[in-house]
Structure 1
Amino acid sequence: MNDLKIVSTQSTPLIETDSNRGVIYMEGDSYPENSFEFYSELVSWVSHYLATNSRPLVVELALLYLNTSSIKVMMDIFDELEDAHQSGRDITVNWRYDVDNERVAELAEEFKEDCSFAFNIIGQP
């Protein structure tokens, strides 16, 4: 399985995957011109990972800002993670945020409401 290493830009986050460890890491801002196109590789990676093995998946997020279309893509990813969790898969999301950025904490809380898997919102100074 090919892992991703997408370098961050001013408007897109760093995305790294590690299929051996079962980890997705994302950091930065997300307001690409076309979110669905930008995230297409990650969406494919998640689907392939979940379909080809039964190992746990941990999603490590340090996202600072997401535009509306990025939020929609993340909702789609979280829906797929929820389906996998409902089928017995061990899924964990750790969303780290700056305690001075309440907007990100509120967004993470909104995502968490729809998820039954472990979803940790971690404030950092």
Structure 2
Amino acid sequence: MNDLKIAPTQSTPLIETDTGRGIVYMEGDSYPENSFEFYGDLVAWVDEFLKQNDRPLTLELSLLYLNTSSIKVMMDIFDEFEDAHHGGREVTVNWHYDVDNERVAELAEEFKEDCTFAFNIIGQE
């Protein structure tokens, strides 16, 4: 399984995966022209990781802004995490945000409400 390393742009976040450690890291803004196309490799990677083994998977997020279509993709990823969690898999989301950015904290809280797996919202100064 190949790891992803997608460089950030003005409208897309940095995305890095670490198969060995079971970590997906995303940082930056997310408003690509076509979110489903941009995130296609990541969604496939998460799906493949969850199918190939039973190790824990952690999503480390430091996202500053997400447009509507990016939110839909994140919901799809969280749905996969939810399914894995119900199957007995250890999955975690750690969403880091700047305490001065209330919108991101509110968005993370909205996502968390729909999740039964470990979902941590971590404010940073």
Q: Residue 42 of structure 2 corresponds to which residue in structure 1? A: 42
Structure 2 residue 53 is matched with structure 1 residue 53: yes
Identity %: 79
User: Please, which runs of 5 or more residues in structure 2 have no aligned partner?
Assistant: none
Q: How does 1:36-115 map to 2 (within 5 A)?
A: 36-115=36-115
Output the CA distance in 2 between the equivalents of 1:119 and 1:77: 13
Q: Residue 11 of structure 1 corresponds to which residue in structure 2? A: 11
Match of 2:106, SS state, is helix
Q: Deviations over 1:41-97 (max 9, x none)?
A: 000000000000000001100000000000000000000110000000000110000
TM-score, scaled to structure 2: 0.99
Supply the RMSD in Å over aligned alpha carbons: 0.3
- After TM superposition, give the deviation of residue 12 of structure 1 in Å: 0.0
AA partner of residue 111 (structure 1):
F
AA partner of residue 9 (structure 2):
T
User: Please, which runs of 5 or more residues in structure 1 have no aligned partner?
Assistant: none
Output the CA distance in 1 between the equivalents of 2:29 and 2:115: 23
- Residues matched between the structures, number: 125
TM-score, scaled to structure 1: 0.99
Deviation beyond 2 Å, 4+ runs, structure 1: none
Output the CA distance in 1 between the equivalents of 2:7 and 2:34: 16
